[in-house]
């Protein structure tokens, strides 16, 4: 959840923003003038500002100057009803992130908000990746003794000395990124960078320039030339994580880059040579995505030449012992405790669980267990496996109860209202479906702290479908303050 400051003397605009921001899982901070805006800035952490130009007292452009001086990193979007090019130009000169003409267009506001809030994750920054990959042995290494992992290791060894594109598939937490890092670590490209790009984490309008870079002036806001990931990777390995989330248009471009081993910055015709190995990963079934028209078949075949399928942990129980000891030693060292091993009963207990979160879940569980345990041997009492928690069942019952009430109310209303036009989207069926969708989406957003990407994954709903649903059923979703707390 981000804190978004909206400064506008027009009450209706503030309200519209407030609603839209809540729906997107953010917290609106409203100000009717410059003074109130500065008070918010001093009192709260603010992540982005939407600023009206004409306000009583200090006007928006002067306020912009002050914000730039005090908070140079903060993105400020300037809004103006008197949208002459002069104001817009002046705003950009003063360092505004972008400007919006009034009347406001909701989709453009949403896009801008996404762009303003976008920060590359620290682990995907070139520098971090560089140190990581340049020091083999220091970072985590893939381990496993199951027959399935032995097969994976064999394939990885075969891949070390060529440049074939690789697709790594498997459920969340099975170790796909670690596989990619290890392929890089043992390849001829190990001295160069390993760069990770999470296709699901970058707002759609930004992906192309993030991947391929752009020339100065290629689009509004492109003040400087920017080097994309394909260029920055400079001879190393580019890891395209969550490739299933890449928009279709970009899929076509990526295919061309892989085929021709050339690409261009946005706004340029100068071809640049691709000097990198590309490893893609996904926890979706790309075959199904292709069938449903969400993933290009040609790109799928191109990536699918070499596929490393990492089985879920429950299908390679033989790895649980080795992984557990490994995570035990790691956690003990981190927490300054001494452990010599795991009691056999505790290990059996671990092997009996299905591990829906796979190796990541095991890693976290061992860490939690070590934290609470005395040592030097991890016993069955120290290991607390998640069971279906009572509260969740109770939540489910409550939801069903509300659904039942809503169903009865809708039907009662329909019988009282007489004949219903079948084409009318307001009948009991539509109203109930909308109700259920709303409940599910609200709950998913709540569980994921308002993160739409995680929520769509949780619901196994495509990100754009989720957004569309939030927009169409969105009517009341932002009304409940409690819903989006703890972001
Ligand atoms: N075979 C393994 N040996 C050691 N550590 C592992 C292994 N597999 C996974 N891990 C650890 O488990 C965690 C999750 O792994 P990773 O991030 O690679 O999973 P992922 O498949 O990319 O998950 P997601 O789909 O959620 O992104 C990491 O901390 C990783 O170091
Ligand atoms: Mg991953």
Atom of ligand 1 nearest to the CA of 178: 18
Give yes or no for residue 421 having a pLDDT over 60.
Answer: no
Give yes or no for residue 388 having a pLDDT over 70.
Answer: no
**What CATH code would you report for 315-378?**
1.10.8.60
Atom of ligand 1 nearest to the CA of 283: 25
* Separation between Cα atoms, residue 422 and residue 444, nearest integer Å: 31
pLDDT value for 443 = 79
Whether 106 contacts 114, CB under 8 Å: no
Supply the mean pLDDT for the chain: 83
Whether 340 contacts 379, CB under 8 Å: no
pLDDT value for 431 = 73
* Separation between Cα atoms, residue 116 and residue 110, nearest integer Å: 10
Burial class (CB in 10 A: 0-12, 13-18, 19+), 352: exposed
- Give the model's confidence band at 407: pLDDT under 50 very low, under 70 low, under 90 confident, else very high: confident
**What CATH code would you report for 3-117?**
3.40.50.2300
Local structure of 253: helix, strand or coil: helix
Residues 144-172 have pLDDT tens digits of 888 899 889 888 888 877 888 999 999 99
DSSP for 432-484, written as a single string: HHHHHHHHHHHHHHHHTTT-HHHHHHHHT--HHHHHHHHHHSGGGTTS-GGGG
Percent of the chain's residues with pLDDT above 90: 45
Q: Where are the domains of the chain?
A: 3-117, 122-309, 315-378, 392-484
* Separation between Cα atoms, residue 83 and residue 67, nearest integer Å: 21
Tell me the C-alpha to C-alpha distance, in Å, between residue 454 and each of 78, 195, 307.
Answer: 30, 22, 25
pLDDT value for 131 = 34
Give yes or no for residue 82 having a pLDDT over 70.
Answer: no
Local structure of 265: helix, strand or coil: coil
Cα–Cα nearest to 248, from 199, 215, 201: 199
pLDDT value for 160 = 79
Ligand whose nearest atom lies closest to the CA of 364? 1
Rounded average pLDDT over 90-119: 81
Check for a shared fold between 3-117 and 122-309.
Answer: yes
Give yes or no for residue 307 having a pLDDT over 90.
Answer: yes
Residues with CB under 6 A from ligand 1: 140, 142-144, 170, 172-178, 283, 323, 359-360, 363
Burial class (CB in 10 A: 0-12, 13-18, 19+), 34: buried
* Separation between Cα atoms, residue 437 and residue 472, nearest integer Å: 10
* Separation between Cα atoms, residue 89 and residue 234, nearest integer Å: 36
Count Cβ atoms below 10 Å from residue 233 Cβ, excluding itself.
25
Report which DSSP code applies to 266.
B
Residues 187-206 have pLDDT tens digits of 889 889 999 999 988 888 88
For residue 230, how far is its CA from the centre of ligand 2 (angstroms)? Answer: 19
Nearest protein CA to atom 29 of ligand 1, as residue: 360
C-alpha dihedral sign at 298, 302, 306, 307? negative
* Separation between Cα atoms, residue 222 and residue 50, nearest integer Å: 19
Neighbours of ion ligand 2 (CB under 5 A): 177
Give yes or no for residue 466 having a pLDDT over 90.
Answer: no
- What phi and psi, each to the nearest 5 degrees, are found at residue 45? -80, 125
* Separation between Cα atoms, residue 328 and residue 367, nearest integer Å: 7
**What CATH code would you report for 122-309?**
3.40.50.300
Atom of ligand 1 nearest to the CA of 168: 21
Residues 309-337 have pLDDT tens digits of 999 999 999 999 999 999 999 999 888 88
- Give the model's confidence band at 346: pLDDT under 50 very low, under 70 low, under 90 confident, else very high: very high
pLDDT value for 455 = 84
Rounded average pLDDT over 14-37: 94
Q: Which residue has the tokens 């479906």?
A: 433
pLDDT value for 85 = 61
Distance spanning both ends of the chain, measured CA to CA: 4
Percent of the chain's residues with pLDDT above 70: 85
* Separation between Cα atoms, residue 19 and residue 33, nearest integer Å: 20
Give yes or no for residue 79 having a pLDDT over 70.
Answer: yes
* Separation between Cα atoms, residue 122 and residue 203, nearest integer Å: 17
């Amino acid at each position: 959840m981000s804190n978004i400051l909206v400064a506008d003397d027009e009450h209706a605009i503030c309200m519209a923003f407030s609603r839209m921001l809540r729906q997107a899982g953010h917290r609106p901070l409203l100000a009717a003038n410059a003074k109130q805006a500065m008070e918010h800035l001093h009192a709260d952490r603010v992540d982005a500002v939407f600023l009206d130009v004409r306000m009583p007292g200090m006007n928006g452009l002067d306020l912009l100057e002050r914000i730039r001086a005090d908070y140079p990193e903060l993105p400020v979007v300037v809004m103006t009803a008197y949208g002459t090019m002069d104001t817009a130009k002046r705003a950009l000169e003063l360092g505004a992130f972008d400007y919006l003409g009034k009347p406001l267009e909701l989709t453009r506001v949403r896009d801008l908000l996404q762009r303003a809030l976008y920060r590359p994750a620290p682990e995907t920054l070139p520098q971090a990746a560089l140190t990581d990959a340049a020091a083999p042995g220091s970072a985590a290494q893939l381990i496993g003794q199951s027959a399935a992992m032995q097969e994976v290791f064999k394939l990885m060894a075969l891949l070390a000395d060529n440049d074939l594109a690789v697709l790594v598939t498997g459920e969340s937490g099975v170790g796909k990124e670690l596989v990619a890092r290890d392929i890089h670590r043992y390849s001829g490209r190990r001295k160069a960078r390993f760069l990770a790009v999470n296709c699901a984490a970058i707002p759609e309008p930004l992906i192309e320039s993030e991947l391929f870079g752009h020339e100065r002036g290629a689009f509004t806001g492109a003040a400087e030339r920017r080097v994309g990931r394909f260029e920055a990777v400079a001879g190393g390995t580019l890891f395209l994580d969550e490739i299933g989330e890449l928009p279709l248009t970009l899929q076509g471009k990526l295919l061309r880059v892989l085929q021709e081993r050339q690409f261009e910055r946005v706004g340029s015709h100068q071809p640049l040579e691709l000097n990198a190995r590309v490893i893609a990963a996904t926890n979706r079934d790309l075959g199904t995505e292709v069938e449903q028209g969400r993933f290009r078949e040609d790109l799928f075949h191109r990536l699918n030449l070499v596929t490393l399928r990492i089985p879920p942990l429950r299908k390679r129980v033989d790895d649980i012992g080795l992984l557990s000891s490994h995570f035990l030693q790691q956690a003990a060292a981190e927490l300054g405790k001494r452990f010599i091993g795991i009691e056999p009963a505790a290990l059996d207990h671990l092997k009996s669980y299905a591990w829906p979160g796979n190796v990541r879940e095991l890693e976290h569980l061992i860490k939690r267990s070590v934290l609470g345990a005395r040592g030097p041997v991890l016993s069955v009492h120290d290991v607390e496996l998640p069971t279906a928690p009572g509260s969740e069942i109770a939540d489910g019952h409550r939801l069903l109860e509300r659904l039942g009430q809503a169903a009865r109310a809708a039907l009662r209303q329909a019988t009282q209202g007489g004949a219903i036009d079948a084409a009318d989207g307001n009948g009991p069926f539509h109203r109930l479906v909308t109700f259920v969708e709303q409940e599910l989406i609200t709950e998913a957003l709540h569980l994921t702290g308002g993160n739409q990407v995680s929520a769509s994954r949780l619901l196994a709903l495509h990100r754009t479908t989720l957004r569309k649903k939030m927009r169409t059923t969105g009517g009341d979703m932002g009304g409940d303050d409690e819903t989006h707390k703890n972001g």
